[in-house]
């Protein structure tokens, strides 16, 4: 399976939960899990090649001129992290199905979860640092949604904001650092950057790049002094905590340090910055965890501590330490995800996470007790569990790293880890049963405990048989990190002469002693003054928040005129600055002679435009003038040999004028006077300057030759050979820039649906509907609502117009035409039926739902673009061929025709849905329908006809 498809599957899967939740919670979870399982299987297919030392690559050109390509690669490190993300993600999906209550919108949760999963998979598989940065920021945004999933909890909203602010700020710093690396290496591809260690470390920009990148890594992985955000993110649902804060998001910073280890590590700057941050984080967070009473808070600070441990190992800069770091990443993900899920079970069953209100749960929740005990003993580093193995190896590396204080502090950190792990088991599960639990606890059903039980089993299996269950993966990942073949030797016993043995015994003994003295130590801890990170963060953020509120309140007043004035002034000022400070010379291209016809057209355009500005209060007259301007522009397009644009412009003008006429029917015929003369003078002066600036820019472009090939030259040269069409405009729309067109038709469809929704809200019982029913036009009707001449003419023109629309559609790839114009032509033909015969008559004969037309059009266009993937080509790449079918002559077929069909259906559906919505408003406003003349049962009221 292509790496690009593996990275895309979670994003595609994010579209399904919102639909499948209608089929039930089980179906929603099953489909969501199936997508993750499919991606995991696709990843597994590459395991043999990665273990052989191969690097799997998928390269897709995106914006090669900017160095931004959708390149992916998979090595041992990527395999390790992608496996954790998808494997634990699959268990989280299962766990969340039974954890979330019926009141929680499960479809929304799974959508957020899949978006985050896709962003994380994208990070670990990206070969291009610009692409990696895109995914990096997506993790911040999607984690914001997940952490704040319970919107009714103030602490959830605050935790989400804090996580976004801290990790987002670090991400901005990291962007600068990664761009520096790309500039030093001459490439933005990681596979190239990782081969330029000497050039990067010799550069004067090495230290700035290192600091900026580490800011991104430290903030994402909650390293000191950015550790405070992660515990506050525990307000999220437990599945989020188990996924984001044990196996994925907080590991993103660790992944980044491991990925760039080959080019950044090995210098004194790396050693002191990374080792110091990791060591301080490890000891400090472990100490804080010891005195936390909330189960998730205890686990959160323990997570921060273990992340510090891994960071410290990467900071040592040795291959052995990097190997241990990789091994502990695996171990920590297994036992910590199990512990978080078990904490969620305790909360789910007892209705509390306060460790002081628990105790004696081993008798009431034996399965949960077994899971927690196994995972906690592994977290403490006791044999024979997997955490013991990596902890011993960590202590060994710390003992052999100068200065000696590193080994001492590492032992102290391990001591606190033993203490809080034992406290978790002892204070929550051991001791006598209580009679004051908030809710009578018992083990949950199979669906809730099976996921943590599988992880606990993995903890035991890796601990007993490390080389069988994890050694091969550790070797592959460590080889990718260090750039050299690694064969880790993971064993339970390293001899009596190993310093790690005595350091470990000291940590275990000291941890038990600290646990015994916990009550006294806690009293000292509570009495001692200490800085509160959250208060510091709030104090720092408050001035910025006040400044932002002040700017927002000053600028965002709701006045469209104000917004236009500010933006126009800014654009004019920027253009003037560029003109004054830039170098420019007179144009060399001679001006063409102005023909009288062109001058007359220009004069009419200017007069009509000025008339719109002067007479803007008279709405109907302005609409007529706007139509005149559109017609003149259409003539101008035809005069300048742009028939495609002329056809489109004139079709748009006709459709919009009719729709606006219908909309103006509900508005006063004149607008009130809103601006003072001084303001009008200011706006006129600014508009004049803006117009002169744009005119000057156009003049400068038209009087100069370009020394380099333009995009127009490329389109003209490749329209036939690459797109299969001689109509360059249509080929651009459906091929070269098909993605733009796809976005435009999607927006058009959304706009029409919004008009429909607005009309529906007005038609519901309420004040708006009452006002609409009592509305009386301020101008008299003509009397003859549906002139017979117009009725007959439109009936006769309909089949002709439909034939013309089909003709324009079919000819569009080689001569003027296409889906957009044909959609407008057919829309106008149908609009004329509404105008001639009325809403009731037309609606009674409507066989196709306009919503369906919009949906079908967007889906057909999307399917056409996706189809190119199956041919191994980029999204929206078209193909064509020539065929001979007797008795027809040789003809061309292009996949772009299907895309154009999607455009046609979307345009037709959007225009007709907007018209239908406005027509329903007019009908509800009391406009009667002459049913006898038009074959509609006269006993049906407009409302009943609408229902029929």
Residue 370 has pLDDT above 90, yes or no: yes
Contact predicate 860/898, CB 8 Å = yes
Q: Per-residue DSSP letters for 134-163?
A: HHHHHHHHHHHHHHT-STT-HHHHHHHHHH
Buried b (16+ CB within 10 A) or exposed e, 807-840: ebbeebbbebbbbbbbbbbbbbbbbbbbbbbbbb
* Mean pLDDT, rounded, for 118-137: 91
Low-confidence winner among 746-755, 757-766, 818-827 (lowest mean pLDDT): 757-766
For residues 833 and 398, which has the higher predicted lDDT (pLDDT)? 398
Query: Which of 313-317, 701-705, 837-841, 943-947 is predicted most confidently?
Result: 313-317
Look up tokens 């080389």; give the residue.
Answer: 467
* Mean pLDDT, rounded, for 527-556: 81
Distances, alpha carbon 761 to alpha carbons 5, 659, 766, 777, in Å: 41, 19, 9, 22
- Is 860 domain-assigned? yes
- Is 822 domain-assigned? yes
Q: Whole-angstrom Cα distance, residue 913 to residue 920?
A: 10
Residue 944 pLDDT: 35
Q: Whole-angstrom Cα distance, residue 189 to residue 413?
A: 38
Confidence bin at 841 (pLDDT 50/70/90): confident
The residue segments making up the domain with residue 866 are 725-948
- Strands 72-74, 880-883: pairing is unpaired
Which residue from 826, 770, 848, 832 is spatially nearest to 795, judged by alpha carbons?
Answer: 832
Q: Quote the radius of gyration of the chain (alpha carbons, Å).
A: 34
886: Cβ contacts below 8 Å, ≥ 6 apart: none
Query: Structural domain tally of the chain?
Result: 1
**What is the CB-side half-sphere exposure of residue 207 using CA atoms within 13 A?**
5
Q: Whole-angstrom Cα distance, residue 364 to residue 132?
A: 47
- Is 909 domain-assigned? yes
Q: How many other CB atoms are there within 10 angstroms of residue 246's CB atom?
A: 30
Q: Whole-angstrom Cα distance, residue 362 to residue 530?
A: 35
- Tokens linked to 22: 């209608």
Q: Whole-angstrom Cα distance, residue 948 to residue 944?
A: 6
Q: Whole-angstrom Cα distance, residue 216 to residue 221?
A: 9
Confidence bin at 773 (pLDDT 50/70/90): low
Residue 351 has pLDDT above 80, yes or no: yes
Residue 196 has pLDDT above 60, yes or no: yes
Which residue from 887, 786, 874, 875 is spatially nearest to 837, judged by alpha carbons?
Answer: 786
Contact predicate 490/471, CB 8 Å = yes
Which residue from 113, 81, 92 is spatially nearest to 455, judged by alpha carbons?
Answer: 92
* Mean pLDDT, rounded, for 530-544: 78
- Is 912 domain-assigned? yes
Q: Is 100 helix (H, G, I), strand (E, B) or coil?
A: coil
Q: Whole-angstrom Cα distance, residue 122 to residue 457?
A: 29
- Is 923 domain-assigned? yes
Span 621-676, pLDDT tens digits: 888 898 889 889 999 888 888 888 888 888 888 888 887 887 777 777 777 777 78
Contact predicate 219/167, CB 8 Å = yes
| pTM, rounded to two decimals | 0.74
Q: Whole-angstrom Cα distance, residue 230 to residue 164?
A: 11
- Tokens linked to 800: 């002709």
The 3 state secondary structure assigned to 407-468 is HHHHHHHHHHHHHHHHHHHHHHHCCCCCCCCCCCCCCCCHHHHHHHHHHHHHHHHHHHCHHH
Residue 770 pLDDT: 64
Prior bond of 403 cis (ω within 30°): yes
Confidence bin at 776 (pLDDT 50/70/90): low
- Is 733 domain-assigned? yes
Contact predicate 346/295, CB 8 Å = yes
Span 891-917, pLDDT tens digits: 778 888 888 899 999 999 988 888 877
Prior bond of 144 cis (ω within 30°): no
Q: Whole-angstrom Cα distance, residue 520 to residue 515?
A: 10
Q: What is the largest CA-CA distance in the chain?
A: 108
296: Cβ contacts below 8 Å, ≥ 6 apart: 234, 238, 241, 340, 343, 347, 353
Q: Is 322 helix (H, G, I), strand (E, B) or coil?
A: helix
Instruction: Please give the angle made by the CA atoms of 797, 803 and 808, to the nearest 5 degrees.
Output: 120
Residue 853 has pLDDT above 70, yes or no: yes
Residue 943 has pLDDT above 60, yes or no: no
Q: What stretch of H or E contains 395? A: helix 386-399
- Tokens linked to 437: 């639990």
Residue 763 pLDDT: 72
Distances, alpha carbon 311 to alpha carbons 229, 325, 480, 541, 903, in Å: 18, 8, 17, 28, 52
* Mean pLDDT, rounded, for 428-441: 83
Q: Is 557 helix (H, G, I), strand (E, B) or coil?
A: coil
Q: Whole-angstrom Cα distance, residue 121 to residue 248?
A: 9
For residues 95 and 67, which has the higher predicted lDDT (pLDDT)? 95
- Is 778 domain-assigned? yes
- Is 748 domain-assigned? yes
Residue 547 has pLDDT above 50, yes or no: yes
Which residue from 134, 146, 36 is spatially nearest to 91, judged by alpha carbons?
Answer: 36
């Amino acid at each position: 399976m292509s790496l690009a498809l593996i990275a895309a599957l979670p994003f595609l899967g994010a579209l399904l939960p919102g639909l499948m939740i209608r089929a039930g919670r089980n179906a929603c979870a099953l489909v969501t899990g199936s997508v993750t399982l499919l991606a995991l299987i696709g990843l597994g297919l590459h395991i043999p090649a990665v273990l052989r030392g191969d690097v799997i690559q998928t390269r897709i050109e995106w914006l090669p001129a900017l160095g931004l390509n959708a390149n992916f690669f998979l090595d041992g490190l990527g395999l390790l992290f992608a496996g954790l993300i998808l494997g634990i993600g699959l268990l989280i999906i299962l766990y969340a199905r039974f954890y979330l209550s019926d009141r929680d919108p499960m479809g929304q949760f799974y959508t957020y979860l899949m978006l985050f999963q896709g962003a994380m998979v994208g990070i670990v598989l990206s070969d291009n640092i610009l692409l990696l940065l895109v995914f990096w920021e997506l993790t911040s945004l999607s984690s914001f949604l997940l952490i704040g999933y319970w919107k009714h909890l103030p602490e959830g909203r605050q935790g989400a904001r804090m996580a976004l602010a801290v990790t987002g700020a670090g991400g901005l710093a990291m962007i600068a650092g990664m761009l520096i690396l790309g500039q030093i290496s001459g490439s933005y591809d990681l596979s190239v950057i990782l081969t330029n260690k000497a050039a990067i470390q010799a550069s004067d920009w090495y230290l700035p790049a290192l600091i900026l990148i580490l800011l991104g890594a430290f903030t994402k992985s909650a390293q000191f002094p950015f550790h405070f955000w992660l515990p506050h993110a525990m307000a999220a649902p437990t599945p989020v905590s188990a996924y984001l804060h044990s196996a994925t998001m907080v590991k993103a910073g660790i992944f980044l340090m491991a990925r760039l280890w080959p080019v950044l590590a090995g210098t004194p700057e790396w050693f002191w910055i990374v080792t110091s941050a990791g060591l301080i984080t490890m000891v400090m967070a472990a100490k804080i965890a010891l005195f936390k009473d909330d189960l998730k808070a205890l686990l959160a600070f323990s997570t921060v501590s273990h992340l510090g441990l891994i960071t410290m190992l990467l900071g040592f800069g040795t291959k052995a330490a990097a190997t241990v770091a990789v091994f502990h990443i695996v171990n920590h993900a297994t036992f910590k995800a199990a512990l978080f899920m078990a904490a969620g079970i305790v909360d789910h069953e007892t209705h509390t996470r306060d460790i002081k209100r628990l105790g004696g749960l081993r008798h009431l929740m034996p399965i949960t007790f077994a899971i927690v005990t196994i995972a906690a003993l592994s977290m403490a580093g006791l044999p024979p569990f997997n955490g013991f193995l990596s902890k011993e190896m960590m202590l060994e590396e710390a003992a052999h790293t100068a200065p000696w204080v590193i080994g001492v502090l590492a032992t102290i950190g391990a001591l606190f880890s033993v203490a809080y792990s034992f406290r978790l088991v002892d204070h929550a599960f051991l001791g006598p049963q209580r009679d004051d639990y908030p809710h009578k606890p018992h083990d949950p059903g199979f669906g809730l405990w099976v996921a943590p039980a599988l992880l606990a089993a993995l903890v035991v299996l890796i601990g007993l048989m490390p080389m069988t269950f994890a050694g091969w993966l550790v070797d592959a990942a460590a080889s990718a990190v260090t750039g050299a073949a690694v064969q880790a030797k993971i064993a339970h016993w390293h001899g009596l002469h190993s310093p790690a043995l005595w350091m470990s015994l000291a940590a275990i003994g000291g941890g038990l002693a600290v646990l015994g003295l916990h009550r006294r130590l806690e009293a000292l801890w509570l009495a001692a003054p200490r800085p509160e990170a959250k208060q510091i963060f709030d104090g720092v953020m408050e001035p910025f928040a006040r400044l932002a509120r002040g700017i927002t309140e000053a600028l965002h007043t709701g006045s469209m005129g104000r917004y236009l004035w500010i933006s126009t002034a800014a654009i004019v000022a920027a253009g003037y600055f560029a003109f004054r400070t830039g170098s420019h010379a007179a144009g060399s291209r001679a001006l063409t002679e102005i023909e009288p016809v062109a001058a007359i057209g220009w004069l009419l355009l200017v007069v009509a435009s000025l008339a719109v500005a002067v007479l803007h209060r008279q709405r109907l007259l302005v609409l007529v003038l706007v139509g005149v301007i559109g017609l003149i522009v259409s003539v101008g397009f035809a005069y300048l040999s742009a028939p495609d644009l002329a056809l489109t412009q004139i079709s748009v003008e006709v459709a919009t004028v009719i729709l606006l006429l219908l909309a103006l029917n509900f508005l006063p015929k004149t607008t009130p006077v809103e601006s003072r003369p001084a303001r009008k003078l200011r706006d006129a002066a600014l508009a004049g300057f803006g117009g002169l600036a744009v005119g000057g820019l156009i003049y400068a472009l038209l009087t100069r030759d370009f020394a380099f090939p333009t995009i127009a030259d490329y389109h003209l040269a490749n329209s036939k050979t690459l797109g299969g069409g001689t109509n360059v405009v249509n080929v651009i729309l459906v091929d070269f820039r098909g993605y733009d067109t796809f976005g435009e038709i999607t927006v058009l469809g959304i706009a029409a649906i919004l008009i429909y929704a607005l009309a529906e809200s007005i038609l519901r019982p309420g004040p708006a509907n009452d006002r609409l029913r009592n509305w009386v036009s301020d101008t008299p009707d003509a009397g003859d609502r549906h002139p017979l001449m117009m009725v007959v003419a439109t009936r006769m023109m309909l089949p002709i117009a439909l034939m013309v629309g089909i003709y324009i559609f079919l000819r569009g790839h080689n001569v003027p035409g296409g889906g957009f114009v044909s959609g407008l032509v057919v829309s106008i033909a149908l609009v004329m039926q509404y105008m001639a015969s009325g809403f009731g008559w037309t609606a009674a004969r409507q066989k196709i739902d306009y919503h369906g037309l919009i949906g079908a059009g967007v889906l057909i266009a999307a399917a056409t673009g996706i189809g190119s993937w199956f041919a191994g080509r980029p999204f929206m790449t078209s193909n064509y061929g020539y065929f001979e079918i007797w008795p027809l002559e040789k003809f061309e077929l292009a996949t772009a025709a299907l895309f154009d069909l999607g455009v046609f259906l979307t345009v037709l559906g959007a225009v007709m849905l907007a018209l239908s919505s406005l027509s329903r408003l007019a009908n509800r406003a009391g406009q009667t329908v002459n049913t006898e003349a038009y074959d509609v049962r006269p006993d049906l009221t407009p409302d009943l006809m609408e229902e029929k």
